Structure 1
């Protein structure tokens, strides 16, 4: 395996990845480069139709890894990582039953974090921050159940506050 990865690396191709380890009762589908551009584990739903269950990978046309994710009973469930063509992480977070949860980050091709936000049950909920290319803060604020709440501030590239607005506190009860 190491010899194959080394040969691909020296030839300028993408490194070889170990085959997907599919959960019991599922089968590996698709193919990794050079035979394909997507591979996943597939099981059967209660009606006998195929659905994704377990790890999945999607590749760029040059064979580089584009997306690594997991599915549970046909829905995204677990860690999610999308990569830039240069191999650095572009987007990272997690899903639960098909909905974004926890901390999500978006990064530039250089690896600099551009955005960071918290999610709950598929909607933004909690701290949000956006950053200038050099890493200084551009915007910060908070989401409450998918809407902006509290104080949001905007900064110039030198870090000076340009302005702020207070959206007040939100309540999920009528």
Structure 2
């Protein structure tokens, strides 16, 4: 004969507690894995001695702001992006390097940002998206004269987009800018 405690079976209470604990754990795990907007504010010291400070911030789309995309937005493969890039500021040795908004507003679902140097030029590399929507966006800064942006898949075997932007306003005060991005 089974012993009842306060009219209940002890094992039934155990299973209810186990089920409740499992549900709470699953909810917490789901909350932790939900995607968060990417943000990074960091200063890098490059081998040449240049200090590069970068502030990059995404935010969640406001109601009705983000629309379904098939192309033109990096980091999603169709559907509606969850985030938009709000801020992309770059300072080289305390002097702002301007990257116009149109060159970063189409980048979303970023997961990493790295700064390096190649032949004296600052390289900013963003990676984001996943599966078919995965991308690498590489900005090669040409002094203060302009930059080149290349976008490719997660493994850069093929360039999907290449843009070169020259800062013509710098031509007046920096004659080296006339030759563009080296």
Q: Normalising by structure 1, report the TM-score.
A: 0.31
When you count strand as a share of all residues, which structure comes out higher?
A: 1
- The structure that is helix-richer by fraction is 2
Q: TM-score, normalized by length of structure 2?
A: 0.30
Larger radius of gyration: 2
